[in-house]
């Protein structure tokens, strides 16, 4: 799943777990493993982070330290740098959400990610997903007055 730049810039080096051959950033619980090529790049980045050569940032724990003392990189700056590399954060995020609505109901994805239900339903329709008849809401309880068939009350 794609994570917004606003969350990524708040990662500290303590949030990157290096366990044997696995690199696991803690963006949620449990931490998610990143693929080998990206894992190596991430570890190399941590060892040679930008904005570390000033007196105010020498001990910064941010994975993406900002120019201001004690502050992470601004999310817009990270997004801009990714766009300069040819990585569209909007396209990546949309692709990740489209994958999610193929795997689970659009209202569930909307609630989990904080999107409007209409947005995830539109993305579901664009992908040709099969969750179109899913009714959002609490499915643990029956409507008032509802009696299941075959309950002997016929």
Question: What pLDDT does 1 receive?
Answer: 47
The secondary structure element, H or E, covering residue 1 is none
Beta-carbon neighbour count of residue 84 at 10 Å?
8
Mean pLDDT of 126-142: 66
Question: What pLDDT does 140 receive?
Answer: 63
Instruction: State the SS3 of 62-117.
Output: ECCECCCCCCECCHHHHHHHHHHCCCCHHHHHHHHHHHHHHHCCHHHHHHHHCCCH
pLDDT tens for 37-93 read 888 989 998 888 876 776 667 788 898 888 887 889 899 998 898 889 888 888 877
Q: Are 118 and 34 spatial neighbours (Cβ–Cβ below 8 Å)?
A: no
Residue 154 has pLDDT above 60, yes or no: no
Structure tokens at 68: 């201001």
Average pLDDT of the chain, as a whole number: 80
Question: What pLDDT does 15 receive?
Answer: 92
Query: What are the structural domain ranges in the chain?
Result: 5-72, 90-127
By C-alpha distance, which of 27, 26, 22, 55 is closest to 39?
22
* Inter-axis angle of helices 89-103 and 117-127, nearest 10: 80
Structure tokens at 4: 């917004």
pTM comes to 0.61
Q: Are 110 and 99 spatial neighbours (Cβ–Cβ below 8 Å)?
A: no
Question: What pLDDT does 85 receive?
Answer: 86
User: For the CA atoms of the chain, what is the radius of gyration?
Assistant: 22
């Amino acid at each position: 799943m794609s994570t917004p730049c606003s969350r990524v810039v708040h990662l500290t080096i303590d949030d990157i777990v290096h366990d044997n051959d696995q690199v696991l950033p803690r963006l949620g619980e449990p931490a998610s493993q990143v693929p080998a090529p990206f894992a190596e790049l991430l570890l190399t980045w941590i060892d040679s982070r930008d904005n570390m050569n000033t007196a105010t940032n020498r001990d910064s724990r941010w994975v993406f330290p900002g120019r201001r003392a004690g502050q992470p990189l601004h999310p817009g700056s990270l997004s801009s740098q990714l766009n300069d590399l040819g990585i569209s954060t909007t396209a990546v995020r949309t692709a990740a959400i489209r994958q999610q609505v193929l795997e689970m109901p659009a209202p569930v994805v909307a609630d989990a990610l904080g999107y409007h239900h209409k947005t995830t339903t539109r993305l579901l329709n664009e992908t040709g997903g099969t969750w179109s008849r899913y009714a959002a809401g609490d499915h643990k309880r029956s409507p008032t007055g509802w009696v299941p068939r075959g309950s002997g009350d016929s």
